[in-house]
Structure 1
């Protein structure tokens, strides 16, 4: 059964909470609400109906509570802003509009605790609940401490946890003390601390520490979930008396954490106007969300299926989903499979957990572990099962072997192959079997790579010294660098001694926790920018600066030994001009060779280099079009003068360079114009007779046709148009 919680927040909204203190630029109320909003938004994100929340405003301008209505004194300026119940986004937005500074300051914090305690007693009755009251105040209003003993006794009797967090409260453990504190605040702070000291379960702290700890990610503690309850067998008990059968229970040991998924929403249409269209229908009003003054609603997708029917209006007819068959793509063909045929391919399985073999510890490679870890224990209150499973665990441990089992969680589910590791309880006095799923043959991809310590020549010779192999100096430099960057003892523990720099319990998934942080921030403040990621999430994203300075000598030594050089950035094509990559030496090669970079004519003998040279120095589209025209004439002449197919390959290579260069210059239209005319000339026999082999074997097969929009952003040619153009 899910755990039940009832939490009441008491928020001081008095006049003094609107002031700023101790160098802060935000008011005490805004500073305090950082903690409150974070806790409430976490409850909303959990979306559990058993986690209930109530909110009380202290020092409000009006009064709204049960004690005041029944005629009791001392409960003025205390208002119940939200009764205890499940928290939703809508109620969060409504509550946000009610939390604002008031103009009063006469409420009693002890009385507000009594109101909260009454709310919890009425709501939870005698049921099993985790009860909690959280009071947030700056203690600037008078507190009547005459009934502190009685209130503390009632809190202990109802088993309510009391958390009092004060703005600028003194905290010796945290290291904070407010200077020039008023006498009234000192007296009130002492009264609240006295109340906490008399409670069995209470916390007293300062708001600065609470806000600082909000950046620490919250680890979600999962309750044990029983995935399997049945027999663990070795052999078939229905056929053989010697078969082993143990009643076991399997639980999840580890579970993969994922980032919260996104939900598609639309702006909810005005009910006074036209309703939602047929293609987009909204879900029930319970799923409506208000964000930043805009009302959103969830989206329900509706699919319709049509088939060609010349007799139907518009040439298409709607068909029911039940009348469709599943189709699977096989190459370019869609193969339909009916439900009756599909049932043949489905593996019929029954619930079971059967050991099918054993493997020694030494023959198993841990890197093939897949998925989440489970734990197998004997059935509770079953001594026979406990003894049998204990015997199996100790036997596996003594022979140093793992068990391999076929696992089917329930009837009809896909089977898994699990590796069972014995835990005999020698170190932790807990006997169990840990399991991890193993891959099937189809899940394993074996790749072979050349060895890293030698080079094999084509003649079979083995070379241990080669330009691709590290030298002795490089190995030593790398070894020194690795030793210098060692993090295992770079951290410092509480006693100032070396410790592990990045312990596993301080490593958090930045994707998950950053996403949750952003969602909570956006839920509370829809229009405010999301703050930067918490420092604790980025703590280990970069090596520590002090370690880099310490290892600076080894780093430079490694760079020099390995001859590491910066690779120049690849030149990006620009419309009408193309930047060239300068050599590392800085020399002008063309000038040294006496070649002019302003060549305007392309010779057939050196067409490709000269064509690229002109494009590299082109300053306008006219120059590019002129060069493309010259290259096109050379291609046409090669095809015309070719004896049979002798010059087809050369013509195709010139055409490929022309195509690629024009794409990089974002001028595919120039190439498109030329290739359309070239196709017409080839198929009509204008280029020296039948040249269709050039078209099909070199242009179509070489993918030298039209430039599609997938190849160039400025092209308007679709894939279908390009395919149609390739056909004669």
Structure 2
């Protein structure tokens, strides 16, 4: 059964919560709600009906709680803004609009805790729930402690309710924060709340600074063990041989691949009232009233001259898959497909053994499993224990054929024994192995020698590292060693990147963005948390420590900076050769003004490289355009289409590089008109559709060049 939780948030909305303190540019309320919204949005994202939330406002202008209605004193300016229950996106947005600073300042925080406690007791009854109250306040409003907080703490303990008090600018010696110039009333209120928490058996007292800082630490979703297999593990066939071994085992997932939340295509409802009841029910499933799910409908048609419009709709049931065999399509019906499927039956059998040293870890594929004996089965426990110890003593792995259920795919698993010497837990760990079709063998040239075309072996070559480079690289690797870099408080070396502190930045970054958008669709998404980027680059201290080895390695490897490509209007930066010689002047090349059709591409590039003004570039583009038009006009069928397309491609790339995309767009617009109108020697539409559109030679957009005036939408409309 899923865990049941009932959490009530108490947030101080008093007048003092609208002020900014300790150099912050946001109010105490906004600062505290950063923590509350993160917790609530996480619960909403989990979408579990058994995780319920309530919300109580403290120091509200109005009063709305059951104790005040009964005429009990001391419960003024306390309002229940959200009754306990599952929260949807719509309720989250409505609650956000109601959480605003008020003018009241006389609400009692301990009375609000009593209201929240009664809400939880009334909702949970005597059922098994995890009960929690979270109080967020800056402690400026007066607190009535005449009856003593110990009496309230005793009732909380009787109801097994955990009390969490997080104060804005509360002192926390363990965290290392202390507010200077604190008022005496706030100090007394803070001490009262601390006494209340200390009197609870399940209580947490902290400062909001630490709570907000810890929001950047990703929360790992706890996963319950899932039984993937329950049946015999066999060695041999028990139905045929008496000597065969059969042990009843259970297999659970040890590791499971985590994936980021998937997106769903939705459409905004412009007028909510215009939708039918069925559509409203679908909107409820979407978690709100602002969006509606998008339905996809596909229609299959074939050419039929007798049908209206020349097209005949074909039902999906009448379709069959077809596979290409040469130039012929071979149809396969569902009955034919069933013959090709490999029929499997549920089973788990050992097919061989291999020694430890003959297995390489890079063959691991997929998720790890855990195999234990069936519960309350002494014979299975004894048999599996003996098998595990036998594998361990022989230093061998077992290889097994595994089928999770009937008609499932076959997996080959490697079984590793865990005799429980270190963790006192006997089990088998398994990992999927690749089939022959999964292995890709690539051959690379050796790193320590060069083989010439004549078969000679060279040990010294410009592509091979010399002794100085090898020594420099070895020293650099030793200097960048992380194993002893990080130390604990006592100075002892510790692991710099523990496995449980290395988080997947993609998954947690997407989850962070979703939570921000859920609470406030207009709020900007902040930068990624530093903890997600911590291991994306080496530590700064380590780099400074290894600076000498890095400099020596750079000198030994002769590392040189590659000149950046210049982005200037007119011409690209000409990279001078290391020799400093002017190759063009040595070869006697003059500035070319006429481009010949026989050598168009090199001469066009040279004309752009030597151009001194925009007019020269425009003339070169015009000549290249005339050459393309002549190739298309003189082409018999598609004989010269490839040459024309290659000229267009070079024209496009060069003009993008020289920041003249609009010249290309102007040329292509005129070429399209000529092609489709038949001006270039008849029907040349094949050149447009097959070589220009299919070759992705369309208009240059702003995404490709900042100098372009064409948007993505304009480019798509142009090719249509």
In the TM superposition, what is the alpha-carbon distance from 1:402 to its structure 2 partner?
A: 0.8
Are positions 1:415 and 2:410 aligned together? Answer: yes
SS for the counterpart of 2:164 is strand
Which aligned pairs between 1:517-528 and structure 2 lie closer than 5 A?
517-528=512-523
* CA distance in 2: counterparts of 1:120 and 1:81, whole angstroms: 14
* CA distance in 1: counterparts of 2:134 and 2:471, whole angstroms: 60
Which aligned pairs between 1:32-431 and structure 2 lie closer than 5 A?
32-145=32-145, 146-272=147-273, 284-288=282-286, 295-328=290-323, 334-431=329-426
- For 1:562-602, what per-residue CA distance to the aligned partner results, in whole angstroms no more than 9, with x for missing partners? 2222334568999x977654434554322344431244365
* CA distance in 2: counterparts of 1:139 and 1:591, whole angstroms: 82
In the TM superposition, what is the alpha-carbon distance from 1:450 to its structure 2 partner?
A: 1.6
* CA distance in 2: counterparts of 1:362 and 1:546, whole angstroms: 38
* CA distance in 1: counterparts of 2:259 and 2:112, whole angstroms: 40
1:626 equivalent in structure 2: 623
Residues 19 and 656 of structure 1, relative CA distance in 2, 3 Å threshold: closer
* CA distance in 1: counterparts of 2:671 and 2:564, whole angstroms: 27
* CA distance in 1: counterparts of 2:333 and 2:600, whole angstroms: 59
* CA distance in 2: counterparts of 1:571 and 1:25, whole angstroms: 41
Are positions 1:707 and 2:686 aligned together? Answer: no
Residues 625 and 331 of structure 1, relative CA distance in 2, 3 Å threshold: farther
Which aligned pairs between 1:421-500 and structure 2 lie closer than 5 A?
421-500=416-495
Which aligned pairs between 1:553-592 and structure 2 lie closer than 5 A?
553-568=548-563, 580-592=574-586
* CA distance in 2: counterparts of 1:335 and 1:345, whole angstroms: 15
* Residues 645 and 692 in structure 2, CA contact (< 8 A), matched pair in contact too: no
* CA distance in 1: counterparts of 2:60 and 2:629, whole angstroms: 84
Are positions 1:595 and 2:589 aligned together? Answer: yes
* CA distance in 2: counterparts of 1:46 and 1:272, whole angstroms: 29
Structure 2 unmatched ranges of 5 or more: 656-663, 702-720
In the TM superposition, what is the alpha-carbon distance from 1:359 to its structure 2 partner?
A: 1.2
SS for the counterpart of 2:128 is coil
1:9 equivalent in structure 2: 9
1:514 equivalent in structure 2: 509
2:713 equivalent in structure 1: none
Residues 271 and 486 of structure 1, relative CA distance in 2, 3 Å threshold: closer
2:659 equivalent in structure 1: none
In the TM superposition, what is the alpha-carbon distance from 1:341 to its structure 2 partner?
A: 0.7
* Residues 493 and 499 in structure 1, CA contact (< 8 A), matched pair in contact too: yes
* Residues 32 and 136 in structure 1, CA contact (< 8 A), matched pair in contact too: yes
* CA distance in 2: counterparts of 1:107 and 1:652, whole angstroms: 82
Residues 601 and 374 of structure 1, relative CA distance in 2, 3 Å threshold: closer
* CA distance in 1: counterparts of 2:99 and 2:27, whole angstroms: 13
Residues 21 and 652 of structure 1, relative CA distance in 2, 3 Å threshold: closer
In the TM superposition, what is the alpha-carbon distance from 1:612 to its structure 2 partner?
A: 3.9
2:706 equivalent in structure 1: none
* Residues 648 and 697 in structure 2, CA contact (< 8 A), matched pair in contact too: no
* Residues 601 and 650 in structure 2, CA contact (< 8 A), matched pair in contact too: no
1:661 equivalent in structure 2: 650
Are positions 1:537 and 2:545 aligned together? Answer: no
Residues 589 and 518 of structure 1, relative CA distance in 2, 3 Å threshold: same
* CA distance in 1: counterparts of 2:155 and 2:627, whole angstroms: 97
* CA distance in 2: counterparts of 1:352 and 1:474, whole angstroms: 56
In the TM superposition, what is the alpha-carbon distance from 1:434 to its structure 2 partner?
A: 0.2
Are positions 1:546 and 2:541 aligned together? Answer: yes
Mean CA deviation greater in 336-345 or 281-290: 281-290
In the TM superposition, what is the alpha-carbon distance from 1:451 to its structure 2 partner?
A: 1.4
* Residues 134 and 166 in structure 2, CA contact (< 8 A), matched pair in contact too: yes
Structure 1 unmatched ranges of 5 or more: 641-648, 682-698, 717-728
Residues 308 and 579 of structure 1, relative CA distance in 2, 3 Å threshold: farther
In the TM superposition, what is the alpha-carbon distance from 1:90 to its structure 2 partner?
A: 0.9
Which aligned pairs between 1:22-41 and structure 2 lie closer than 5 A?
22-41=22-41
Residues 670 and 569 of structure 1, relative CA distance in 2, 3 Å threshold: farther
2:715 equivalent in structure 1: none
In the TM superposition, what is the alpha-carbon distance from 1:542 to its structure 2 partner?
A: 1.9
- TM-score, structure 2 normalization: 0.86
* Residues 350 and 412 in structure 1, CA contact (< 8 A), matched pair in contact too: yes
In the TM superposition, what is the alpha-carbon distance from 1:13 to its structure 2 partner?
A: 0.9
SS for the counterpart of 1:420 is strand
In the TM superposition, what is the alpha-carbon distance from 1:611 to its structure 2 partner?
A: 4.9
* Residues 283 and 300 in structure 1, CA contact (< 8 A), matched pair in contact too: no
2:609 equivalent in structure 1: 616
* CA distance in 1: counterparts of 2:426 and 2:205, whole angstroms: 41
In the TM superposition, what is the alpha-carbon distance from 1:425 to its structure 2 partner?
A: 0.7
* CA distance in 2: counterparts of 1:608 and 1:633, whole angstroms: 15
* CA distance in 2: counterparts of 1:2 and 1:398, whole angstroms: 41
* CA distance in 1: counterparts of 2:604 and 2:12, whole angstroms: 78
* CA distance in 2: counterparts of 1:66 and 1:652, whole angstroms: 83
* CA distance in 1: counterparts of 2:344 and 2:181, whole angstroms: 75
* CA distance in 2: counterparts of 1:632 and 1:572, whole angstroms: 30
Mean CA deviation greater in 498-507 or 342-351: 498-507
* Residues 595 and 623 in structure 2, CA contact (< 8 A), matched pair in contact too: no
* CA distance in 1: counterparts of 2:31 and 2:689, whole angstroms: 65
* Residues 641 and 691 in structure 2, CA contact (< 8 A), matched pair in contact too: no
- For 1:442-480, what per-residue CA distance to the aligned partner results, in whole angstroms no more than 9, with x for missing partners? 111111112111222334332222222111111111112
1:644 equivalent in structure 2: none
Mean CA deviation greater in 241-250 or 316-325: 316-325
